[in-house]
Amino acid sequence: MYAARKILVAQGGGPTAVINQSLVGVVLEARRHRGIDLVYGARHGVRGIINEDFVDLTQETSHNLELVAGTPASALGSTRDKPDLAYCQQIFEVLRAHGIGYFFYIGGNDSSDTVRIVAEEARQAGYPLRCIHIPKTIDNDLVGNDHTPGFPSAARFVAQAFAGANLDNAALPGVYVGVVMGRHAGFLTAASALGKKFDEDGPHLIYLPERVFEIDRFLADVKAVHERHGRCVIAVSEGIHDASGQPIAARLAKDLEHDAHGNVQLSGTGALADLLCEEIKTRLKIKRVRGDTFGYLQRSFVGCVSDVDQREAREVGEKAVQYAMWGDRDGSVAIRRNGYYSVDYELLPLEAVAGKTRVMEDHFISESGTDVTDAFRLYLRPLLGSGMPDAFRLRPNPVAKVLKP
């Protein structure tokens, strides 16, 4: 048991629909342990730590915490800062100055690496600091996890959005392109397949960053589906790339922004959807072509949250505190699946998770590379939660023509 009786918790990276469940899980579980006096929250992630921008979560009522838990997006605020060694050394100095004994960081790959570096700094300094990473990302790309909190709710949104887009496209046939988040991992784009009910429903084609994208083959696929069904619904990951690894958005567009890490800005822009739609119109001569970029909508959409995701996001926060109080090591909380459907939790070494990226396994992707397998559908369906809406259609009972038999 560490002598320091203060906890600091922060949220990093992209918000999700359930990240506040993990935050509240930490706070409420900490209150059950007599060894804890204060629980602080850092505003806007690690930037809030180096700026000493803290709030005292010990003073929050349990009722308000529960209301915040059910609210999407990061209640403490987040950051896209990617700390290097010098940045993490500043983090550690602030933690030591405030007498923090337990550091919890809710986030994805970069956040886990930050926790790893801070933990190492504390060990080298001989300072008693327990560091726990709490998983979160809609991309579902944390290694060692069956799935990651935030992904199921975002996947539920994507599945429902494509179910609606398919109905719209069936009523007014044409080609529809929906671009979904995912730079390296295609899990979220693949979730569009769960919007299908009938064999001829869309998405008819799914393009993932795990497979090389060829524009000529893409156009041939679209043409074949359009000729077969008289329409085509397409799900595309923002991270699709050519054989050299260059993003298709960068290849087709002349001017694209770059983010703070030098990556081509893929989210928050409709460039890829517009470019693909223009290729279809120009080269296939199909008149009705429409495109959407889901952008930030899929991350924190109110009213489209998986109850399974809510429960597990709360539990990873609770387990983080339990591991910190009763364990003797730092680590990253991981979700492991048992049977159909239940989960257990495990504390993985930070080195096993930090800075690594999981991508969709081959057995989840169809041989054609433009669809998912039944194994993926079975994997995802329980994560979407209860009360998934359904769609129905009229049965074809044609009446014989009189004037034009």
* Alpha-carbon span 223 to 96, nearest angstrom: 62
- SS3 state of residue 200: coil
CA distance 188 to 16: 13
299 is annotated as contributing to ligand binding: yes
Q: What are the φ and ψ backbone dihedral angles of 122, each rounded to 5 degrees?
A: -65, -40
Q: How many CB atoms lie within 10 A of CB 265?
A: 14
Residue 140 CB contacts under 8 Å (≥ 6 apart), including other chains: 147, 148, 151, 155, 185, 187, 188, 358
- Distance from C-alpha of 386 to C-alpha of 305, rounded to nearest angstrom: 10
Structural Rg of the chain based on CA atoms: 23
Which amino acid, residue 265? Q
Known catalytic membership, residue 221: no
Catalytic-labelled residue, pool 139, 221, 309, 330: 139
Is residue 66 a contact partner of residue 36, using CB atoms and an 8 Å limit? Answer: no
Is there a binding annotation on residue 182? yes
- Phi, psi (deg, nearest 5) at residue 171: -75, -40
109 appears as a binding residue in the annotation: yes
Q: Binding residue per annotation — 390?
A: no
Question: Quick one: CA dihedral 237, 297, 345, 46, positive or negative?
Answer: positive
Residue 174 counted as an annotated binding residue = no
Residues with Cβ within 8 Å of residue 60, at least 6 apart in sequence: 27
Q: Tell me the helices (H) and strands (E) count for the chain, helix number first.
A: 13, 11
Q: How far is CA 56 from CA 41, 250, 388, in A?
A: 6, 44, 38
Is 297 annotated among the ligand-binding residues?
Answer: yes
20 has binding-site annotation: no
Sheet holding 130-135, edge to edge: 54-56, 38-42, 6-11, 100-107, 130-135, 331-338, 342-348
Annotated binding-site residue numbers for Mg(2+): 109
Which residues does the annotation mark as catalytic? 139
Annotated binding-site residue numbers: 14, 109, 137-139, 181-183, 238, 296-299
Annotated binding-site residue numbers for substrate: 137-139, 181-183, 238, 296-299
Annotated binding-site residue numbers for diphosphate: 14
